[in-house]
Amino acid sequence: MTSDITHPVPNPERLGTLTRRYARYSRTAGGLGSVLGGVLVLVTYFVGALALPKSVEGRLALASAPLIWIAGKELLRTRFYQQLGRVQESMTPSERRWHLGFTLFTAIVSVAVIAFLLVSARDDLARLATPGRLGYLAFVAAMPLLAWRFMRTPLEFIIGIFLVAQAAVVLAGGHYALGEQPQAPIVAVVLIVVGIRQHMEFHSLKRELAQIGAR
């Protein structure tokens, strides 16, 4: 005996659109990871400018912001926003160009800063062997790698470079004054709004994909 029950086949065009929207969360749509980055920028920017910690522990906490952001957003990206299966978003040629360009620019700046410090301290390299200065050099040296691996959009690049640079400066004993790096809090607010919107869109996307899967 055969069954006359048939299941509607999902529209291929709609399914392709949903898949592309879902794939964005593997790379360019940060969702709550973007919110986390924006909040960390606002907190560290104003704390660093208005209430800079005096203790070593306080400065270490402030300097840990980029690591917290990277770890948090990567966990959200892989564990939450890819919970329905891994779908990788492809980079367009223009995205590859700007990503490579920003990374090369960051590498040039990092090399220049490190070279300047080494030349300035060539007669007494022991000056660079303090924990604070070594931490500064470590963050500056790691900046291009972090930009290449984890800063996937222009907005992420702006706040990510700020967080890494501020971490280096704080470990070296300095800080950004209020009014310096004004792009950081502005972009942070934008990224928070974008991240919240992306997170809400993800829940809508999940419902649409669930409806297709239930057919």
Give the model confidence (pLDDT) of 69-87 as tens digits.
Answer: 999 999 999 999 999 888 8
d(CA 212, CA 114): 54
Q: How confident is the model at residue 13 (pLDDT cuts 50, 70, 90)?
A: confident
Catalogue the E-assigned strands of 89-159.
Answer: none
Q: Pick the closest to residue 153 from 28, 7, 2 (CA basis).
A: 28
Q: How confident is the model at residue 9 (pLDDT cuts 50, 70, 90)?
A: low
d(CA 34, CA 192): 6
Instruction: Over range 108-122, report the average pLDDT.
Output: 92
Task: Decide if pLDDT at 215 tops 60.
Answer: no
Burial class of residue 91, CB neighbours in 10 A (0-12, 13-18, 19+): middle
The percentage of residues in the chain with a pLDDT greater than 70, rounded to a whole number, is 93
pLDDT score for 124: 80
Please indicate whether residue 78 or residue 16 has the higher confidence score (pLDDT).
78
d(CA 211, CA 215): 7
Task: Decide if pLDDT at 1 tops 50.
Answer: no
Q: What is the DSSP letter of 82?
A: T
Q: How many whole angstroms from its chain centre is CA 79?
A: 16
Task: Decide if pLDDT at 185 tops 50.
Answer: yes
Task: Decide if pLDDT at 180 tops 60.
Answer: yes
Instruction: Over range 31-53, report the average pLDDT.
Output: 96
pLDDT score for 211: 79
Catalogue the E-assigned strands of the chain.
Answer: none
Task: Decide if pLDDT at 128 tops 90.
Answer: no
pTM of the predicted protein model: 0.89
Please indicate whether residue 123 or residue 113 has the higher confidence score (pLDDT).
113
pLDDT score for 208: 86
Average pLDDT, the chain: 90
